[in-house]
Chains A and B, each alone.
Chain A
């Protein structure tokens, strides 16, 4: 909660065992890492804006998790959370991001020219291409913690930055609270409109407070560049188009991001970033690049092949249904995207998608002809 230490100093009058949450039935990253001893060690800390350990973990306490899906179970309230509570967050980051160490450095590379190929994915198979990431604005606390005043400050800065873009990025901002019915219908039809979070993973972290105050959507006139303001992160930036030209999508993504960043920097509010964790976002799972680059691709034969999941794993890719996370595929069409976020650059992650999808389309074509694909199965990337 904003500008208050949420009762923290008062709680210190109680013994550790009386305050320690019951995590015996829990299955999330936070519950795996947080012991009573660790809780006792860091529970008296606060970030400068007053975010506490209990604030960080509340969502993980309230959502025990799922036996098969491992959620993160904690969030950051501000940039400093990752420092002040590193004793808890570093092991969680390591678990979630393939052993990433507290001493590791993350490389950022948003030079689209470094991407090789990506403009020749077969449109008969690759139906659409998309890259998304998030950005947090320095000097403001994050969605779980920010006050109405801060959230409106973020919105004002974002609107100024976004509506000053020109060329292919020229567009319009639609604040959620003053949308007309016609605008709302159009945004729904375009699949752009985001709604108040209903997932308890988010609501228990305080991210739906004051909805829809300070929230909105900007998109360019061509409907290929979209920014969400004050949803799960300060900004979510999306570049997309029909067909398989991932190179063009990524170029627009990088150029757009750089332009936006320039404008924020001019106001003394650049993006939150450091050389250890890359771009700082609300959920530890989105650290690093925060990037999910993916395609909707038709793989009816490959997807039922015995080695499909292994191929994906080796290519460092993941599959989802075409409705996004937690949906099933329809008609053999899959959403294929990069699995990694932290420890490799944007260019490297999109390269994996481009190369991996190209290979899988070749495999699909081979299977169509009744040929085997065993010789094509790649080594672990």
Chain B
């Protein structure tokens, strides 16, 4: 009989449904018709339990947090832009993860995703951001670069300095969800604002779809060009749709301030230069961000931000400041010491190879940057990076002279 099918639908309503199913095409037509009763029938035919993803082999923050009960309560909700829970979690369902690397496993389609699906996002945020509780804590924003002290490193050790973050334009859906018109609107708003930058920030926009071969080659040589995402973490989150429509790169003439448009976020903002003057890099970063914000506000737009989560970005891992401040630094002696990882941990820093995330270090040069994004302000995080890098250089100098070094005590987590 319809044995297995019966199991999917419980109770008296199920029996009624099955009887109607036996009527064949007529019933099918009814089920598929666009009336409210049909939607109700459809929900009964496919209760949340029938749709709950199989996460038994998964290892990501979403799989850890998502229970059948939460899924049941959230599955039929939609944001004002018609974005659903299934769309948020698709990337985490499609990418079970790695036994050693914990990916986030979900994305926001719009600002409201973090509210409508807060029952899922809040525990994920807490997990990912070391205990930051969005239901009770507030996130501080501070872009006053003058507060940074000791922010100029010894050029003998620090080869380059860089700060990056992202910004989203309020009122437009995020890269997983946006339509072509919305994405083009993001590009229009941002490019118009950037055209108003002057002095050392004055620059030019290169739309990906209209690049000449010569421009493309120049951007590659400058290490500025970004390509269509190939990582399934991103493609399964619908972020590569319509490529390369409305994607582009803006940079200032001095090549020290760079903005990616419509890649993983509405905008990614990068300030950088050779050498160890992190203070100047951060000063330019803050000044540029403030000016861009003012320029979009003049036209009635603003960045997505709130007190609970700071700056709103596509991936929950980038909430708060979205800030990664880092240096390429030579540490030939320290990097060979077995205490190196512990020192970094306590300073709340992470190391990457000089190719960026998931690359190995070449020689003795490391990419060292802040671990945290949410719960501390931009100034606090950059100061922590500055203090940490200064400490690492001191260790390196000591080891050059044959002196011993100390593992520092751990830096405190959150303001209460």
Complex contact B50–A270 (CB within 8 A):
no
Complex contact B32–A48 (CB within 8 A):
yes
Given contacts A21-B180, A62-B240, A139-B31, contact A4 B82 (CB under 8 A): yes
Residues on the A chain within 8 Å of B235, using CB:
203
Looking at the assembled complex, report how far the CB atom of A274 sits from the nearest CB atom of chain B, in whole angstroms.
11
Asked if A10 CB lies within 8 Å of chain B CBs, one says yes
Q: How far is the CA of A277 from the CA of B84 in the complex (A)?
A: 34
User: Which of B31, B33, B179, B245 gathers the greatest number of chain A CB atoms within 10 Å?
Assistant: B179
Complex contact B4–A19 (CB within 8 A):
no
Residues on the B chain within 8 Å of A46, using CB:
34
Name which of A90-98, A205-213, A295-303 contacts chain B. Answer: A205-213
Residues A1-18 near B (CB distance < 8 A): 1-11, 14-15, 18
Asked if B302 CB lies within 8 Å of chain A CBs, one says no
Looking at the assembled complex, report how far the CB atom of B107 sits from the nearest CB atom of chain A, in whole angstroms.
14
Interface size on A, residues (CB 8 A): 52
Asked if B354 CB lies within 8 Å of chain A CBs, one says no
Looking at the assembled complex, report how far the CB atom of B57 sits from the nearest CB atom of chain A, in whole angstroms.
8
Question: 1/0 per position for B7-33, CB-CB distance to A under 8 A?
Answer: 010000000000001111101100111
Residues on the A chain within 8 Å of B53, using CB:
148, 210, 213
Name which of B86-94, B193-201, B345-353, B386-394 contacts chain A. Answer: B86-94
Name which of A66-74, A149-157, A219-227, A234-242 contacts chain B. Answer: A149-157
Residues on the A chain within 8 Å of B32, using CB:
48-49, 78, 80, 139
Asked if A320 CB lies within 8 Å of chain B CBs, one says no
Residues on the A chain within 8 Å of B209, using CB:
22
Asked if B182 CB lies within 8 Å of chain A CBs, one says yes
Residues B53-88 near A (CB distance < 8 A): 53-54, 78, 81-84, 86-87
Give me the interface of B with A, judged by CB distance under 8 Å: 2-5, 8, 21-25, 27-28, 31-34, 38, 42, 46-47, 50-54, 78, 81-84, 86-87, 90, 93-94, 173, 177, 179-182, 184-185, 209, 235-236, 240-243, 245
26 A-B pairs (CB sep. < 8 Å): A2-B51, A3-B42, A4-B87, A6-B82, A7-B81, A8-B82, A10-B82, A11-B181, A14-B179, A14-B181, A20-B180, A22-B245, A61-B241, A138-B28, A147-B46, A147-B51, A149-B8, A152-B50, A156-B8, A160-B3, A177-B54, A210-B53, A210-B93, A265-B24, A267-B21, A270-B24
Given A7-B81, A22-B245, 19 further pairs, Cβ under 8 A: A3-B84, A4-B84, A4-B86, A7-B82, A9-B82, A48-B32, A48-B33, A49-B32, A61-B241, A139-B28, A148-B53, A153-B8, A156-B8, A160-B4, A209-B93, A265-B24, A267-B5, A269-B21, A270-B25
